A and B are shown apart, each in its own frame.
Chain A
Amino acid sequence: MRTDQLTTQEFSLNLGPQHPSTHGVYRVILTLDGEKIVHAENVIGYLHRGIEKLAETLTYPQFAPYTDRLDYLAGVLNNIAYVQTVEKHMNLVVPERAQYLRVLFGELSRIASHLVCVSSIAIDLNSITGWMYAFADREKILDLFEMTFGGRLTTNYARIGGVSKDIPDTFMSKIRSFLDEFYGRLKDFNTLISFNLIFQDRTKGVGIISADQAIDYGLTGANLRASGVNFDLRKKSPYGLYDRFDFDVPVLSTGDSYDRYYIRILEIEQSLRIIEQVIKSLPDGPIMGDVPRIIKPLAGETFHQIEGAKGLLGFYLVSDGGKTPYRLHIHSPSFVNIGIIPEIAKGMLIQDFIALLASIDFVLGEVDR
């Protein structure tokens, strides 16, 4: 039998929406030749709740809890983005203590979100122990959230003009003990996963995204920085008092899945630095500024972005002077980030594709809104 007369056939495989390692209700239609991917197509919209349309019927304060449900792994950061957009539009002054608390809980949310990402990468490569380690630490962060404002996942913490609740008396000692323990646990996690040869073998060289490709496809956040582009909105155009804190922006150059994974570990370390500085210098004062009873921004439009956990999270607000927004558009980083997946997936093996999906780190709440 001559091998040039043997024909193989491509077949299409449906990955998801119910699948153990797509991160949420996300579906990819893969056309496979054996185990090599020939073509990939994203299918999303399974979690579409019409939040942008709902915003046109809700008042500004009423809409704030809906923002938790966007990137539900980092609740406080979404709140901050929305609230700062409205405050920017209305030129409201937010007291310093509220801004410091926003930074504190925003960075804790960022750490919580990155912990989910690195542990998801680990569990997708079958290191279930690594996943457990990271989630144990995430539990402690969620305990801190619950202690302060009652919510773990759906936070609704940042309100227009300030924050909803002040930290209780026992908070400082609890966060101190969390931080003291966390450095050691991060080292343990690194030994188990980051420096493990099999893990590095599975992720190094997989899904390389060059800097030009990243900018072309609009990647932002850790994905962009892992491809070598030094762009962090907290440094380039500081908002919410980030210019008062001293921290570095890690940038890695290869742009493969390992870099996208490891840069999140480095970002966790930098967020810990910010938190330490916030705790030391937290000023006294009110936690809510001077806000009119009924929020009626003047007619006009505003666009505000923050460095969210997954990338640049932006809110575009068009107001007609009424109590409800005329148009509210949410520019979510995950929605743009998944656009690159069909391009990079060509020619990959399924196993590498799973590693790629986990390292892009998208959340379906943000993708579908």
Chain B
Amino acid sequence: MTITELFNLLVPVYNDKLTLSTDSNSLIITPDQLIALLTTLKTHHEFALLTLLTAVDQPDHYQMVYQLMSIKSADVVSVHVHVNKSTLKAPSIVSLWSAANVQEREVYDMFGIIFDGHPHLTRILNPDDYTEFPLRKTFILQSVDRQRLS
């Protein structure tokens, strides 16, 4: 089924917390209902594999992107969550897929989003004492004065 059909199926459960994206390709859910929606998609609709977990720095919010894939048919469903730029909190889905562990750490490392319920949220790719969050649009890619590094 297409994303629109799936949306129509799920709207009665989540009411106005679930919306469809403008290009009709993704479901947008509020952070508090994320785990419930993903659990339904995983168990009831058999989207068993987590194939994407990342974030995008949109002008007014951070957009978390999740993609689930079905093993039988390789169908894909995409779920977006808007994270507030001042609170920076999002639920962790490590309880549903252990694969989310490293990927959420990467999002924390790059954007600074804190995941509630993550067992060990530390930096993974950048040095442990790094203070910046590189993939934010406020971080400009430029050479750093050598004096400052020492």
Contact = CB atoms under 8 A, between A and B. Distances in A.
Nearest to B67: A303
Interface centre among B48, B97, B99 (most CB of A within 10 A): B99
A167 interface: no
Interface string B72-91: 01101010000000000000
Q: Is the interface of A mostly helix, strand, loop or mixed?
A: mixed
A101 interface: no
A215 B49 contact: yes
Given A303-B67, A326-B56, A327-B56, A45 B51 contact: no
B141 interface: yes
B134 A217 contact: no
A45 to B, nearest CB: 4
A329 B54 contact: yes
Contacts of B49: 215, 218, 220, 231
Given A236-B73, A303-B67, A316-B52, A336 B25 contact: no
Contact of A300 (B23, B51, B54, B134): B23
B3 interface: no
A204 interface: no
A48 interface: yes
Contact of B134 (A50, A231, A316, A327): A50
B99 A216 contact: yes
A48 B125 contact: yes
Contacts of A316: 52, 54, 65, 67
Interface residues of B, number: 35
A344 B101 CA distance: 15
Interface string B112-136: 0000000000011111000000110
A50 B130 CA distance: 14
A44 B99 contact: no
Interface string A300-336: 1101010000001010101000000011010100011
A215 B126 CA distance: 28
Given A231-B49, A312-B51, A326-B56, 20 more contacts: A45-B124, A48-B125, A50-B134, A53-B135, A54-B141, A57-B141, A216-B98, A217-B97, A217-B99, A218-B49, A218-B97, A231-B74, A236-B74, A316-B67, A327-B57, A336-B99, A336-B102, A336-B103, A339-B99, A339-B102
21 contacts: A45-B126, A45-B127, A48-B126, A50-B134, A215-B48, A216-B99, A218-B50, A237-B74, A314-B51, A314-B52, A318-B56, A326-B56, A327-B135, A329-B52, A331-B51, A331-B52, A335-B106, A336-B103, A339-B101, A343-B98, A368-B125
Interface of A: 44-45, 48, 50, 52-54, 56-57, 215-218, 220, 229, 231, 233, 236-237, 300-301, 303, 305, 312, 314, 316, 318, 326-327, 329, 331, 335-336, 338-340, 343, 368-369
| 3 nearest CB pairs, A to B | A218-B99, A236-B74, A237-B74
